[in-house]
Amino acid sequence: MYIISEYLSLFVTSFLASTILPLGSEGLLAFLVHKGLNIYLLILTATIGNYLGACVNYYIGIMGSHGILHKFLKINKKDEERSKGLFKKYGAPILLLSWIPIIGDPLTLFAGIMKLNFKIFSIFVFIGKLIRYIGVYFIVSSPPIFPFP
């Protein structure tokens, strides 16, 4: 039962980290990797949680919640138009970058505002999130580049 709660806490943290809340799930993933939990389940749990959080942003965008952009994310009209232009220019593949802190959450929100097809959104965001957590795993499981004396 204790192990299930560790996976659940990773799922919830990853979910919340992918919404507009300023959280990170990498530290918890690193901790659980070093505890020896199943790496495949950890990566899958974190990826699914983070992807579902991005889906919340997408649906907020679909519903046209521009107030969130301006009130909580402090995005002004000029920046909003610039971001829409970039999204139109590069299209859905830019969602592969949705894993990047700070810019990833607005990208998923703008995908909703732009009414991007949900299946396309899902493919690019899920791949981006999966790459993120695989990368975190390799960083925390490899020996340090500069070992401490």
Query: Tens digit of pLDDT for each residue in 4-59?
Result: 889 999 999 999 998 867 788 888 999 998 888 999 999 999 999 999 999 998 99
User: Domain for residue 147, yes or no?
Assistant: no
Residue 146 in any domain: the answer is: no
Instruction: Find tokens 């097809």 and name the residue.
Output: 117
Q: Are the CB atoms for 84 and 35 separated by under 8 Å?
A: no
Q: Categorize the per-residue pLDDT at 148 as very low, low, confident or very high, splitting at 50, 70 and 90.
A: low
How much is the average pLDDT of 56-63? 89
Range of the domain at 107: 2-141
Q: For the chain, what is the domain count?
A: 1
Q: Is residue 71 part of a domain?
A: yes
Does 14 fall in a domain? yes
Question: Within a domain: residue 15?
Answer: yes
User: Whole-model pTM?
Assistant: 0.83
The answer to whether position 73 is within a domain reads yes
What integer pLDDT is reported at residue 141 of this predicted model? 82
Predicted confidence (pLDDT) per residue in 101-113, tens digit:
777 888 888 888 8
Q: Report whether 127 contacts 92 (CB < 8 A).
A: no
Residue 148 lies in a domain: no
Q: 98 and 129 in contact (C-beta within 8 Å)? A: yes
Does some domain include residue 149? no
Q: Give the pLDDT of residue 100.
A: 81
* 40 C-beta neighbours (distance < 10 Å), count: 9
